[in-house]
Amino acid sequence: MIKVGIVGASGYTGGELLRFLEQHSQVEIVAATSRQYHDTPIKKVHPNLRDSKLVFKDVKAGDIDADLVFTATPHGASMKLVPEILETGARVIDLSGDYRLDEVSVYEKWYGFTHESPLDAVYGLPEIYREDIKKAKLVANPGCFPTGALIGTIPLAKEGLVDNFIIDSKTGASGAGINPSPITHYPHCSDNVTPYAIINHRHVPEMEQELNKLAPVKVCFTPHLVPVTRGILSTIHTFLKEDISSAQLESIYEEYFSGEPFVRILEDGEIPALSAVRGSNYAHVGCFQIDQHGRAVIISAIDNLVKGASGLAVQNMNLMYGFDEKDSLDNYGVYP
């Protein structure tokens, strides 16, 4: 049994952390912080967590008495909180982008902030760094697009079969967070498809950082907001350098992810569906078709708030404390 705190618990990722942690067999939640909702019961903000007795508190991060703290805070805010939390002796899983990039200069270029407190962190993707995560003091939880994109590209990159990936992702609106904005305003977002950050999304350097540790590959990435609440479906187009079959392509993925508790490779050309992973920590990878011009298509689907954020963070926690990796995460997706 460990004590955990959540800093910035009133947003969507905070709500999902609470959903899982309240049902975790080994966890006691000792703090759910929010400046805006100080003294408000969390069920007034996360109406699904109706039976929770927790109340938001405006507590200083460094005053939380916990074994582990999740920082579900905006980019640029985490770097101000993480050092003081680590000083209390707690371990940290940071859900912002502040500790994902190895090079401070790359961070500063893409995020536009001066980094005030660079620290060594483990990139929290168990499908690559499971052993390092177990021992980490600070885990940088991956971005939502990189999680789906890396799971769909790592095996191919590792085999050296490609020079570049064109990743055309379709994301649900919850990825934009709980605060209203013009592009997530219902009359704008509904019945529409909105490409954005067409050539310069800041998740690109994160994807390239991890893929380039395996092989020199270029990532061309364009995200699209689609009228969906949860989920990221990534269509990965790539020209293969060798003439392999669709079956061989599939087996490369099956081998790489063999034994993974949350990655499922779909057989027989089955196409991943967002509704199959909705609300769950599973990533589905499928398609593996190759067209007449040598272009392969791989498709991955995740729930951006779960495997793409809070579920992955809880999976990392399970690894850090030696809990069952699926504790509180073993529910299936809600289909349809």
Q: Which residues are catalytic?
A: 144
CB 224 within 8 A of CB 189: no
* Cα angle, residue 203 at apex, residues 330 and 221 outer, rounded to 5°: 105
How many residues at the interface with its own copies, by CB under 8 A? 82
Question: What does the block give as tokens for 9?
Answer: 């618990």
Compute the distance between CA of residue 55 and CA of residue 60 in angstroms, rounded to an integer: 15
Assess 287 for contact with its own copies (CB under 8 A).
yes
Among 199, 247, 258, 259, binds its own copies (CB under 8 A): 199
Instruction: Pick the piece of the chain touching its own copies (CB under 8 A) from 117-125, 133-141, 154-162, 265-273.
Output: 265-273
For β-strands 263-265 and 283-290, DSSP reports them as parallel
Assess 135 for contact with its own copies (CB under 8 A).
no
Assess 243 for contact with its own copies (CB under 8 A).
no
Range 60-79, binding its own copies (CB under 8 A): none
Question: What does the block give as tokens for 115?
Answer: 């980094």
Min. distance of Cβ 262 from its own copies in angstroms? 10
Assess 330 for contact with its own copies (CB under 8 A).
yes
Assess 172 for contact with its own copies (CB under 8 A).
yes
Assess 104 for contact with its own copies (CB under 8 A).
no
| DSSP label at residue 223 | E
142: left (phi over 0), alpha (psi -120 to 50) or beta: beta
Assess 245 for contact with its own copies (CB under 8 A).
no
Among 25, 105, 190, 258, binds its own copies (CB under 8 A): 190
Assess 322 for contact with its own copies (CB under 8 A).
no
Instruction: Pick the piece of the chain touching its own copies (CB under 8 A) from 102-110, 118-126, 137-145, 179-187.
Output: 179-187
Q: Which is nearer to its own copies, 153 or 184 (CB)?
A: 184
Question: What does the block give as tokens for 214?
Answer: 């395996």
Q: Within 10 Å of residue 48's Cβ, how many Cβ atoms? A: 10
Assess 224 for contact with its own copies (CB under 8 A).
yes
Letter string b/e over residues 188-199, b meaning 16 or more CB atoms within 10 A of that residue's CB = ebeeeeeeeeee
C-alpha radius of gyration, the chain, whole number? 19
